[in-house]
Amino acid sequence: MASHRRPAQHGQRTLVGVTVLSAALATAAAGLSAPPASASPTDPAGREAALARVRTLYEQAERATEKFNGADARTRKLRDEATTLQDRTARAQELVNRMRGRIGALAAAQYRAGGLDPALKLMLSERPDSYLEKASALHRLGAAQATHLRELRAAQHTLETQRRQTARKLAELESSRRQVARHKKHVQHKLALAQRLLNTLPMETRAAYDRISRSDGRGEMVPDLGGAVPASGRAAAAVDAVRAAVGSPYAWGSSGPGAFDCSGLTQWAYSWAGVWLPRTSQGQRGAGRQVPLGQVQPGDLVIYRSDASHVGMYVGNGQVVHAPHPGARVRYDPVGMMPISSVTRP
């Protein structure tokens, strides 16, 4: 499909301006010194310090959320792999049982004929491996019996291998489950601290914070996205999906359709375009081609912070759509709202 691109000068000027403004704001915020420990949430300095602490706690909760998402995705994968290995182990056991049944019938017939060859006793033992190492065991059998023994030995080896693999995978699964629980507890702890801190603020401060957080970017707040063209038809479908999600609540660990965290939103949006993305923002950073910020196009994933703990989707004219933090809704924000790590084009 041909790519139709409009001249980029205006979009680039807007993008550069937004980025410079964001950097200036970030520098100013970083220069604010923390107030004394005795500062009260009821005075202006105390309120600003409390809100800054809330934002920090939400950022830490988001980092923990992405770790939770990664551990949860690994757990789901390990669970599927363990189930597959358990099925294979069961089939291997059934094969061994059938082969031992056939050898048992052969032993019974030989016993009725006048005696049981010791080698057949070997075949019926639980672990014939040690005896199998002796070449003389095979020499005492006829060709058909030797074939049965070799087949049983191979089946027994396969069964033991499957059992070991299954045991290892189940151990990995249990370890991953513990990681999920640990990250979940960490997220909940950070969110509880943030909520308790918000509860100490005066009612009007909380109300103002809630209005900003819950702004969904609809109506008059929808930005002019200009005429920028997505990089592909798939990107266009993802942009349509992510814009349709504007106004949905943030919920950590969620990937739609009713609520989202940051990487859950972008994963969900691209699923509508038939594109699979990893579950975490760190994984999504590597899920395509890296492009310079100056060449960003609608549908590109903008990865934030040095640890890639946040992601949004660029939708044009210097704007991204993203799921910001708990208590907020999916919304539009300037692309330079926080330090950008990279831009990925899926």
Residue 219: DSSP 8-state = G
- The tokens of 130 are what? 């040690």
Q: Which residue, 311, 299, 280, 310, is CA-closest to 346?
A: 299
Catalytic residue among 148, 183, 310, 325: 310
Mark whether 148 is an active-site residue.
Answer: no
C-alpha pair distances (Å), 143 with each of 76, 150, 208, 341: 48, 11, 88, 69
CB contact burial 324-346 (16+ within 10 A = b; e otherwise) = bbbbbbbbbbbbbbbebbebbbb
Q: Percent helix, strand and coil across the chain, each rounded to 5?
A: 60, 10, 30
Mark whether 322 is an active-site residue.
Answer: yes
- The tokens of 300 are what? 């590109």
| Residues in contact with 340: Cβ distance below 8 Å, sequence separation at least 6, in sequence order | 19, 293, 302, 303, 304
Cβ–Cβ contacts within 10 Å for residue 106, how many? 17
Radius of gyration of the chain from its Cα atoms, rounded to whole angstroms: 31
Q: How far apart are CA 226 and CA 223, in angstroms?
A: 9
Residue 140: DSSP 8-state = T
Catalytic residue among 4, 10, 189, 322: 322
Q: How far apart are CA 280 and CA 277, in angstroms?
A: 9
Active site residues: 262, 310, 322
